[in-house]
């Protein structure tokens, strides 16, 4: 078994959206907000705005005043990847996706991201696992039939790149977490995987559990140990990008 930890969702960096999706640190309910697309695509923020408003109404917070949702996103394209509706994930095959080319059926991708707490908690940014895929197969975009283009952001992109790859995950074993699983803490000047969790995972191929940047996704050193730990968290996995809590 092989496993990789990949960051997902909108980011506080302006080029990727300049914001973080909201989370209730008590219930661990969250909204998956995709990052800002860097090229033209068919996806936008219209659908996720409905989930954000419903989430905010339920938790009695204001999307604009309390969470500072950037209004400019409403006119931007979204990069909805991973796409839990179709259990797909795409990446650039010559860069971040290069590691995944060595993955086979049964290997996994764990997705995490930085979320914005809607109430005071110990961290300004709430780093948490948000989904997991057990891989079924992957293909180069050049080998994907046109009728499958709708299933991933990299093939919905109006500027299709032939050296991108798309992963399909196994149903029932894969999906978006209904409630995220917190994994991060501020340590040694950066956000890192909590030391006790890092120990239970068996370590990552990155110094001291560093997760603040996402350019070079780390591999799990002992993926079997991570997967056993993950199952012990009693995760509920959904084949949906978002849900109305």
Task: Give the model's confidence band at 98: pLDDT under 50 very low, under 70 low, under 90 confident, else very high.
Answer: confident
pLDDT of amino acid 15: 86
Q: For residues 132 and 235, is the Cβ–Cβ distance under 8 A? A: yes
pLDDT of amino acid 40: 78
In a domain, 245, yes or no: no
End-to-end CA distance of the chain: 34
In a domain, 202, yes or no: yes
Lowest mean pLDDT among 50-59, 138-147, 151-160, 180-189: 151-160
pLDDT of amino acid 162: 81
For residues 37 and 35, what is the distance between their CA atoms, to the nearest angstrom? 6
In a domain, 244, yes or no: no
In a domain, 243, yes or no: no
In a domain, 215, yes or no: yes
Which residues, 6+ apart, have CB-to-CB distance to 38 below 8 Å? 15, 79
In a domain, 230, yes or no: yes
The 10s digit of each residue's pLDDT in 127-142 is: 999 999 999 999 999 9
Q: For residues 112 and 5, is the Cβ–Cβ distance under 8 A? A: yes
- What is the CA angle 17-34-142, rounded to 5? 110
Q: Percent of the chain scored above 70 by pLDDT?
A: 100
Q: How many CB atoms lie within 10 A of CB 228?
A: 13
Token output for 232: 């012990």
pLDDT of amino acid 159: 76
Higher pLDDT, 121 or 152: 152
In a domain, 204, yes or no: yes
157: domain range?
3-238
pLDDT of amino acid 181: 98
Total domain count for the chain? 1
Higher pLDDT, 95 or 152: 152
**Segment holding 243, helix H or strand E:** none
Tell me what the mean pLDDT of segment 150-156 comes to: 94
Which residues, 6+ apart, have CB-to-CB distance to 207 below 8 Å? none
């Amino acid at each position: 078994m092989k496993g990789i930890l990949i960051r997902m969702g909108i980011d506080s960096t302006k080029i990727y959206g300049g914001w973080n999706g909201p989370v209730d640190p008590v219930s661990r309910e969250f909204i998956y907000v995709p990052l800002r697309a860097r090229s033209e695509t068919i996806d936008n923020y219209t659908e996720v705005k409905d989930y954000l408003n419903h989430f905010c109404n339920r938790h009695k917070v204001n999307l604009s005043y309390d969470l500072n949702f950037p209004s400019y996103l409403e006119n931007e394209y979204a990069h909805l990847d991973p796409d839990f509706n179709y259990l797909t994930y795409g990446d650039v095959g010559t860069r971040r996706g290069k590691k995944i080319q060595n993955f086979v059926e049964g290997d996994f991708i764990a997705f995490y991201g930085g979320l914005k707490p809607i109430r005071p908690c110990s961290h300004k940014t709430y780093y948490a696992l948000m989904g997991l895929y057990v891989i079924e197969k992957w293909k180069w975009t050049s080998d994907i039939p046109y009728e499958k283009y709708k299933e991933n952001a990299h093939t919905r992109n109006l500027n299709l790149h032939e050296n991108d790859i798309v992963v399909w995950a196994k149903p029932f074993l894969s999906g978006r977490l209904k409630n995220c699983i917190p994994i991060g803490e501020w340590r040694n000047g950066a956000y890192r995987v909590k030391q006790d969790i890092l120990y239970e995972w068996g370590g990552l191929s990155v110094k001291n559990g560093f997760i603040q940047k996402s350019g070079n996704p780390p591999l799990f050193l002992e993926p079997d140990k991570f997967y056993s730990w993950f199952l012990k968290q009693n995760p509920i996995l959904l084949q949906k990008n978002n849900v109305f809590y």
